[in-house]
Structure 1
Amino acid sequence: MDRVERKPNRTYVRKYTKKYVKRKWKTLRLNETAVLRKSSDVVVPEEYEAIGKEAFRKCQITSLTLPYGLKEIGEDAFRKSMYLKEVKLPNSVIRLGNGCFAECCVLHSITMSDKLKEIPENAFDQDKWLLEVHFTKNSQIQRINNSAFYECTRLESIQLPPKLTEIGDWAFRRCRELKHVKFPKGLKTIGMKAFYFCGLESLELPDTVEVLGPKAFYCCKQLTEVKLPESIRILDRSVFHGCSRLKVLEIRHDPEFIGEEIVNSGTHIRCYQGSKVDAYCQEHGYITEYIE
């Protein structure tokens, strides 16, 4: 009997270690924001090209105006700005720092800059009232990094940017109301627990996806049937485990690697008789439905 063998330690989302080259931008720093912090309506002066680390952390902002010409928003710059409701990034912004708008508990709308290449780790982590994320057709975003939208519990739908290739680990973890995701053609990797415990009602992956990391769609309890594209090479452990309403997982090809417990024991796996997927099902005790 053919067996799909386990390969040792694998990285699902590549680590980007290239150092960011710090530009000599005029930066609005924490020690310069005292006057601006006194206002609930903050207008960042046009002279600034960057907002520094924690510059407006825990600030009482209700509205924010950012100038065209702003290039960078630093790490945790607006973290825990508890009354900030909307953010529109000017198309001059090329970089966001980790956690820049995390824990903004009433933030409901964010419009991305076309010139961003990635969304950093924890950028909108625990923004529990986030309802809208806007990308334009000209968006340059290629990566959504780890925990970028972790526990955005009221986000119901999102159309991902057209040049996206990688979704990081835990990127949308526990977005419990996330029912609809439009994935772009060109997407290659979905990381570990990327959509763990989401409310997805259907799943249409493009035929460019190659890697589904461990528990990528774990506990998506509204899914009832999934058909995987034949581009998938790695189907890692527990990828659809915990999807209690999933009746059928259809796999019409033989991935290079299939991990353990990819679905619950009651889920049928639809495949070709005599395939490696069929052998995997027999070995692990899954019920098969054969494709004619």
Structure 2
Amino acid sequence: MKKPQTSKIFCVARLLLLLPFLVQPLMVQAQYRFTTNSDGSLNIAQYTGPGGAVVIPNTTNGLPITSIGDAAFFGNTNLTSVTVGTNVASIADQAFSYSSVTNVTLPGSVTNIAFDSFHNCNSLTAITVATNNPAYSSAAGVLFNQNQTTLIGFPEGKAGSYAVPDSVTNIGVYAFFDSTNLTSVALSSNVSTIEDYAFYDCPGLTAITVNTNNLWYSSVAGVLFDQSQATLIQYPAGNAASSYTMPNTVTNIGMEAFYGCPHLTNVTLGTNVAIIGGAAFEYCTVLASITFPNSVTIIEGDAFAECSSLTSINIGTGVTNIQGQAFLGCLSVTAITVAAGNPAFSSVGGVLFNANQTTLYLYPAGSSATSYTVPGSVTNIVQDAFMEAFNLASIALDPNVQTIGDSAFADCFGLTSITIPNSVTNLGFSTFFNCFNLTNVMIGTGLSSIGFQVFAYCSSLTGVYFASNAPAMSSDVFDGDRAAIAYYLPATMRWSATFDGIPTAPWLPQIVASAVRTNQFSFYIDWASGQSVVVEGCTNLSRPIWSPLQTNLLASSSWFFSDPRWTNYPSRFYRAISP
């Protein structure tokens, strides 16, 4: 599962500041920029001061400051401490994210803190809450709800081991997020709920231990399980071991259970594992191989994404569901194999298909092959299927292909040309994004719509040849393609002088590769298949009288023409035209 994109939140916050006429009136006062809340109180939209020890005032110009807005202190690397004013009731998304703040003091008035207010504050060692606060409290610099039954936020800069207080029954979402210096966590017998991402991105965490009297959770060798050890919840990312053998009690590997474990080269799955959760092994960058026992039925999205050292994937007979981007960014995988008898999947030449090979799921990104021909049985190429297949220079799509998923060929850096068959009606989001060696594209007669950034950042692209009418288009289709021209066939419709910002021109037959062969003058004509072309000749270009020599309906994109009578004339000139 993908995490929230903080950069997007940041950009939105800045956009609101740059366009004050779209929001509440903007007020600038000393070290702050304010907007006005619906009740007339002030919201800190941006801090503009010098940093250091910041004390947020209670009022400005007689108006109370009641909220700290989205990204108000985002990325401020001069902050050391913040004392929040006694009228502030809410702290919004990313309010202090990526700042250098070391400690924060919250008054009794704060009753709403966004879960990501202090994300990526790697220097933050303490959050202190006033004792009269009705919603929050703190102990040893850690943020809790008021009665300390929920642990809300462990300061990311706080180091060493930590024992969760006995009062805590719930570990909140992102509670220990990005706690780089945290080495171990001890859970009491009272913890009954651990929410998503609780231990996400804790690279120094070596062990999670659980009191043996806990009825909901357990631990073995520092690894966190549910009480029955059927679900493996969290393998500590700081564990230095290079291999791990999973207990056979495990049937479910939890979401992000092994996320970002930099030392694991080998994991032996238990013989009863049925579900591998989303992003379970994402960014296990030295994991070299994985074999799925026949018990595995579901591999969720991003399960092995960015496992850049993984060289092979062996799928057992039980897997019937592989979700999106499960193996995205596995750049060293040279082959995917599927056990005989699997009812849902098959493999041919190391490429993953559905059982009857009508859907192509995944081409191994680490393959050294420079060309690939999609089998004639394939009608559907799924999202990201060829993404980051860097070595492929050419891909031949069969005329039976009907659908091509989003980003299907994105980041195929070696790809130089592609022909989209007539059967394809739509190209979705970022289909060929960042294929920077792609020079020309042939598009068939069936294309009716083209999506956002389909050819964006294909910086070598010079020609896109449309046999179709001008398709409906999204925005930024050719973003960053400075040399691209869209060529269209005569008699096609809806073309204008530009197409999504690039110039257009008629697509006409071209004479190429002329030569004398077996006493006949010959050449090739390149054009769109299915078009009729006429070769005409004349003997004088200053006063040309063109005569038709041969007409042909192109069965492919190239036609060979030869003239056995060329020696009957002192000179002869040729042209190819559309009838």
Q: What TM-score do the two structures reach when normalised by structure 1?
A: 0.64
The equivalent of 2:496 in structure 1 is: 280
The answer as to 2:347 corresponding to 1:136 is yes
**1:49-89 deviation per Cα after TM superposition (whole angstroms, max 9, x unaligned):** 33233433427432234466642111232233343101233
Amino acid aligned to 2:347: T
Structure 1 CA distance for aligned equivalents of residues 382 and 245 of structure 2: 33
Partner of 1:250: 465
CA 139–64 in structure 1, closer or farther in 2 if over 3 Å, else same: farther
In structure 2, relative to structure 1, the CA distance for the partners of 1:108 and 1:230 (3 Å cut) is same
Pairs within 5 Å for 1:203-214: 203-205=418-420, 207-214=422-429
Give the percent of matched residue pairs that are identical in Structure 1 and Structure 2. Answer: 20
Contact 1:269 1:281 survives alignment (8 Å): no
The answer to whether the 8 Å contact 1:247/1:268 transfers is yes
2: distance between equivalents of 1:159 and 1:66? 35
AA matched with 1:136:
S
Root-mean-square deviation (CA), in Å?
4.3
| Aligned pairs for 1:1-292 within 5 A | 27-30=230-233, 40-46=242-248, 48-57=250-259, 58=261, 60-66=263-269, 70-90=273-293, 92-112=295-315, 115-121=319-325, 123-134=326-337, 136=347, 139-140=354-355, 165=380, 167-168=382-383, 177=391, 179=393, 185-191=400-406, 193-199=407-413, 200-205=415-420, 207-254=422-469, 256-259=471-474, 262-263=477-478, 264=481, 266-276=483-493, 279-281=495-497, 285-290=503-508, 292=578
Unaligned runs of 5+ in 1: 1-24
Once residues 253 and 471 of structure 2 are traced to their aligned partners in structure 1, the CA distance between those partners, rounded to angstroms, is 46
Q: Deviations over 1:18-57 (max 9, x none)?
A: xxxxxxx9834136x79xx886444445554332334334
- SS at structure 1 position matched to 2:412: coil
Structure with the bigger percentage of strand? 2
Could you say if the C-alpha distance between residues 175 and 136 of structure 1 is closer, same or farther in structure 2, counting changes exceeding 3 Å?
closer
Structure 1 range deviating more: 223-232 or 177-186: 177-186
| Distance (whole Å) between structure 2 residues aligned to residue 90 and residue 208 of structure 1 | 39
Instruction: Give secondary structure in 2 for the equivalent of 1:285.
Output: strand
SS state of the match for residue 111, structure 1?
A: strand
**What do the CA deviations read for 1:89-145 (whole angstroms, capped 9, x no partner)?**
345533222332234342232234564444334x3354454444456156359696x
Gaps of 5+ in 2: 1-227, 338-345, 510-577
Aligned length: 256
CA distance in 1, matches of 2:294, 2:470: 40
Cα offset for 1:209?
Answer: 2.9
- Answer whether contact 2:299 2:321 (CA < 8 A) is retained: no
Decide whether aligned partners of structure 1 residues 92 and 180 sit closer, same or farther in structure 2, where only a CA change above 3 A counts. Answer: farther
- The amino acid that maps onto 2:278 is E
Aligned partners of 2:232 and 2:250 also within 8 Å: no
Secondary structure of 1:30's partner? strand
1:91 to 1:234, Cα distance in 2 relative to 1, 3 A: farther
Is the radius of gyration larger for structure 1 or structure 2?
Answer: 2
CA contact (8 A) 1:111 1:133 kept: yes
Kept in 2: contact 1:212–1:239 (CA 8 A): yes
